[in-house]
Amino acid sequence: MFWKFDLHTTSHIDTLLDKEDVTLTEVMDEEDVLQECKAQNHKLVDFLVRPQCMEDLVGYITQEPNDDVEEKIKYKYPNISCELLTSDVGQINDRLGEDESLLMKLYSFLQNEPPLNPLLASFFSKVLSILIGRKPEQIVEFLRKREDFVDLMIKHIGTSAIMDLLLRMLTCIEPQQLRQDVLNWLNEEKVIQRLVDMVQPSQDEDRHSNASQSLCEIIRLSRDQMFQVQGCSEPDPLLATLEKQETVEQLLSNIFDKEKNESAIVSVIQILLTLFETRRPAFEGHLELCPPGLNHPSFSVNQSILDAVRPRLKDFHQLLLEPPKKTVLKTTWGVLDPPVGNTRLNVVRLVASLLQTNTHIINQELINLNMLGVILDMYFKYIWNNFLHIQVEICTAMILAMPPTQSDSEINREDDQEPVRENILITHVSIQSALLFLSIKMGIKSSLHVQYTSFPSAGVGQWPNDEDTQSPTSPKGTTGSSDAEEEPASDRITETVTNGSMKETLSLTVDAKTETAVFKRYDFLFARKVFSSSPSLNPTPLPPKKKNLASCHTARNPTPSPPTTVSRPGTYPLSGLLKCMKNCFYLF
């Protein structure tokens, strides 16, 4: 009944195409031209694949519109042309992919001088991408004949659409053998080395960002491909080139042997972070292909990368101390001079990734440079920077969860017990955190004057006598310092913080031989709870005290009172020191 009364709608395009002198612009002005093309209207498709129409369509997306054209319709025809060419109609794909003159006209867009028009570049990239997916053999053969193709791609890498096209070539080419041929071809053209050369201070930020993102995506895509294609005999040449020691060394040389440039530094760190990434499953359950303990290359960091990074750790440490200059940042609660900055934040992220590898030589270098101590200082200096705090928390949690490496020294506990290993970073960061905690304990009270006094150390396992505490032999009157004195005849370090206005003293003694730390608080017990990862290292239980720890929060009597010594101080293993400090902090 519906068709009997001829109520169905008909496209005006069919009527328009019946005209002998119809033009392409007239057809493109029709509102439903895209829908009719995707529906494969035979009249419309036959009209579009005419040689002159195809040439005009390609010309719209590769040539700049005239400046005298109204801005509202300036990119109307280029946009419609792009949609028509990428409508995935077989006849259009065949005509465009098999006509070399059309491909040359399309390719000529890359021969323009930078910067490219970003909108036209997106049209060009979209059209060439659909051809790569539908006509891979013809397009790859055409591009390989162009000797300047890789040069032009690198030249325009600052344009995001060109970067997307490069990545498209790595992911959308099938079959696998053809893709491997493309990878070998790009590797022979040294595309990795050319992208690395783009990440240096002499280039602009767009090139830094896009070159870095390209390298990161190549790493991820190549590693994903290793799992998706089982039994692949040929390794990925681009990934192998990226993981070479000389490639990583060149990246680091670009940022450290020249002027400091934050954009270049951050871009290089992003590449390193991607290289340090452990395998992330492409889909749920994928990790079952590689059970725990299996030595698969995607689950471990290439040693050549660590060998290239280790000599440059001192330069990253210097970046924490002297980052690229930034303007003073005024906030609602104060002035940041200098602010944390993107450079230092990414350096801390890099340290967190290095800690994840749990490599002895890297751990030892971090200790020698005291990089973790600098990071802890930043943690308390920038108290409102949540991004920094998250990274420091990740570093700390990772260290405390670290198993010992084979190179870590053994700890002799008791004569009748087997020696155990403890990661050197746990010892180091525990001592650094304890000393830092003591130094800021009174420093957070800005109205009070804090003095640091080093007391002579007592014998191992003994607490300093009252005479030692009342008459220090070598007092230091420094303010705002967390340095401790180490006696040459002993492996014990004693750090004491004295608040003169409130007549209270807090002391920490660290013994490197036994790897224990002893706390002492005059006038009252510092902490009741003892945390230990090893039962044999737990201290003797403390006797109950009538004095409530809550009294620490109440106002003290300003009348000076002689300090008293705790008769049974607690001894804390360093592996649990940070956990202990976290609980003790709330007492103040």
Per-residue model confidence as pLDDT tens digits over 159-184: 999 999 999 998 888 888 999 999 99
- Per-range mean pLDDT, top range of 145-154, 321-330, 449-458: 145-154
CB-neighbour burial class of residue 386 (10 A; exposed 0-12, middle 13-18, buried 19+) = exposed
Whether the pLDDT of residue 186 is over 80: the answer is yes
Of 96, 85, 207, 82, residue with least CA distance to 153 = 207
Instruction: Say whether 572 sits in a helix, a strand or coil.
Output: strand
Q: How far is CA 424 from CA 169, 186, 316, 504, 531, in A?
A: 46, 44, 21, 33, 19
Whether the pLDDT of residue 352 is over 90: the answer is yes
The answer to whether residues 270 and 212 touch, using CB atoms and an 8 Å cutoff, is yes
User: Residue 373 and residue 354: Cα distance in Å, rounded?
Assistant: 16
User: Residue 199 and residue 263: Cα distance in Å, rounded?
Assistant: 9
Alpha-carbon torsion, ordered 309, 314, 317, 319, to 10 deg: -90
pLDDT confidence bin for 546, thresholds 50/70/90: very low
Look at domain 13-277 and name its CATH class.
Answer: mainly alpha
Residue 294 DSSP symbol: -
User: Residue 420 and residue 403: Cα distance in Å, rounded?
Assistant: 11
Whether the pLDDT of residue 329 is over 80: the answer is yes
311: left (phi > 0), else alpha (psi -120 to 50), else beta?
A: alpha
Task: Point out which residues pair with 336 in neighbouring strands.
Answer: 329
The pLDDT value given to residue 508: 55
User: Residue 349 and residue 220: Cα distance in Å, rounded?
Assistant: 19
pLDDT in tens, 381-430: 898 899 999 999 999 888 888 777 655 555 444 444 444 455 677 666 66
Min mean pLDDT across 20-24, 64-68, 533-537, 574-578 is at: 533-537
Show Cβ contacts of residue 288 under 8 Å, excluding neighbours closer than 6 positions.
none
Of 5, 33, 24, residue with least CA distance to 14 = 33
Min mean pLDDT across 104-113, 290-299, 356-365, 424-433 is at: 290-299
What is the mean pLDDT of the segment spanning 438-453?
Answer: 40
The answer to whether residues 486 and 431 touch, using CB atoms and an 8 Å cutoff, is no
What is the mean pLDDT of the segment spanning 559-574?
Answer: 36
The answer to whether residues 220 and 274 touch, using CB atoms and an 8 Å cutoff, is yes
Question: For the chain, what are the domain ranges?
Answer: 13-277, 303-402, 447-541+561-585
- Per-range mean pLDDT, top range of 57-61, 552-556, 570-574: 57-61
Task: Point out which residues pair with 486 in neighbouring strands.
Answer: 493
pLDDT confidence bin for 433, thresholds 50/70/90: low
Model-level pTM? 0.71
Structure tokens at 380: 């308390």
Show Cβ contacts of residue 174 under 8 Å, excluding neighbours closer than 6 positions.
136
- Tokens 């005239």 label which residue? 66
Instruction: Please calculate the CA angle 559-561-564 and round it to the nearest 5 degrees.
Output: 155
Whether the pLDDT of residue 500 is over 90: the answer is no
User: Residue 437 and residue 507: Cα distance in Å, rounded?
Assistant: 11
Own/partner contacts of 311-319, CB < 8 Å, gap of 24 or more, are 312/252, 312/256, 313/362, 313/365, 313/366, 313/369, 313/371, 314/369, 315/252, 315/256, 316/347, 316/350, 316/351, 316/371, 317/369, 317/371, 317/374, 319/260, 319/265, 319/343, 319/344, 319/347
Min mean pLDDT across 190-199, 320-329, 568-577 is at: 568-577
The pLDDT value given to residue 326: 86
pLDDT in tens, 76-122: 999 999 999 999 999 999 999 999 999 999 999 999 999 999 999 99
CB-neighbour burial class of residue 67 (10 A; exposed 0-12, middle 13-18, buried 19+) = exposed
Structure tokens at 161: 């659409």
Amino acid, res. 260: K
Q: How far is CA 554 from CA 66, 501, 551, in A?
A: 79, 15, 5
